[in-house]
Amino acid sequence: MRPDRRRQLVDDVLSTWQVSIRRACGVLRAERSSYHYRGSRADQANLKKRIQEIAETRVRYGYRWIHVLLRREGWDVNGKHVYRLYKELDLQLRRKPPKRRVKAKLRDGRSTESCSNEVWAMDFVHDQLASGSKLRILTVVDTFSRFSPAVVPRFGFRAPDVIEALERVCSEVGYPASIWVDQGSDFMSRDLIFGPTRAT
């Protein structure tokens, strides 16, 4: 039983039976020191608000990646505390999509785009040459206009290659408000997440 719940039970006994704190704690087998203790932790409203903002912006992130972002922003908080607040805010991602459904809405927060350069979608497609060499193609599509500002073929991509391609196309057509990517490992590099492309 959590300490706050035990303290609540002690208060209920005190108000109902008009007994001493010693008697109430003895009956409930609660420590009086725990009953009198009041946490000195600062208000977590700002931290909760920031976790909520990150979860709404980066809809595929779990608490671990949110913790990484918070630490990069200067928050002095450990992963266990972020996990507790993450659960308290009910932000858990469903581990697997339900069977017999093509799509599962895991979180609200993605608004419908209303103009160009507001949302880009980015992913890799794959092909193979007649020689047998495998080819990866980075594709970027504006979800509003369906214009593709970047189609970049390479035999292999690293995070710096993706960043370079995005910087080049953004210098030509401007930065988007956000970039959507899938939940695969291709776009989970720290260099890409915290790079200057401002991808979300």
Of 156, 149, 155, which Cα lies nearest the Cα of 197? 149
Pairing outcome for strands 178-180 and 119-128: parallel
Instruction: Tell whether 132 is covered by a domain.
Output: yes
Looking at the structure, do residues 25 and 83 belong to the same domain, yes or no?
A: no
Which region among 37-51, 64-78, 88-102, 131-145 has the lowest average model confidence (pLDDT)? 88-102
Is residue 197's pLDDT more than 50?
A: no
Instruction: Tell whether 52 is covered by a domain.
Output: yes
Could you tell me the residue range of the domain that residue 62 belongs to? 45-88
pLDDT in tens, 141-193: 998 888 888 898 888 888 788 888 888 988 888 888 888 876 555 565 555 65
Instruction: Tell whether 103 is covered by a domain.
Output: no
Instruction: Give me the torsion for CA of 137, 143, 149, 151, rounded to 10°.
Output: 10
Q: Please state, for a pLDDT cut of 70, what percent of the chain lies above it.
A: 78
| Residues 180 and 121 sit within 8 Å (Cβ to Cβ) | yes
| Residues 52 and 91 sit within 8 Å (Cβ to Cβ) | yes
Domain count, the chain: 3
Instruction: Tell whether 127 is covered by a domain.
Output: yes
pLDDT confidence band for 44 (50 / 70 / 90): confident
Looking at the structure, do residues 174 and 132 belong to the same domain, yes or no?
A: yes
Looking at the structure, do residues 57 and 14 belong to the same domain, yes or no?
A: no
For residue 142, the domain's CATH number is 3.30.420.10
Is residue 102's pLDDT more than 50?
A: no
Is residue 198's pLDDT more than 80?
A: no
Q: Please state, for a pLDDT cut of 90, what percent of the chain lies above it.
A: 18
Mean pLDDT of the chain: 80
What is the rounded average pLDDT of the residues 77-87? Answer: 91
pTM of the model: 0.42
Q: What whole-number distance in Å separates Cα of residue 142 and Cα of residue 120?
A: 4
Q: What whole-number distance in Å separates Cα of residue 65 and Cα of residue 54?
A: 10
Contacts of 142 (CB under 8 A, 6+ apart): 116, 117, 119, 120, 148, 149, 176
pLDDT in tens, 103-125: 444 554 555 667 888 888 888 88
Looking at the structure, do residues 24 and 62 belong to the same domain, yes or no?
A: no
pLDDT confidence band for 67 (50 / 70 / 90): very high
Looking at the structure, do residues 163 and 188 belong to the same domain, yes or no?
A: yes
Instruction: Give me the torsion for CA of 36, 3, 38, 73, rounded to 10°.
Output: 170
pLDDT confidence band for 94 (50 / 70 / 90): low
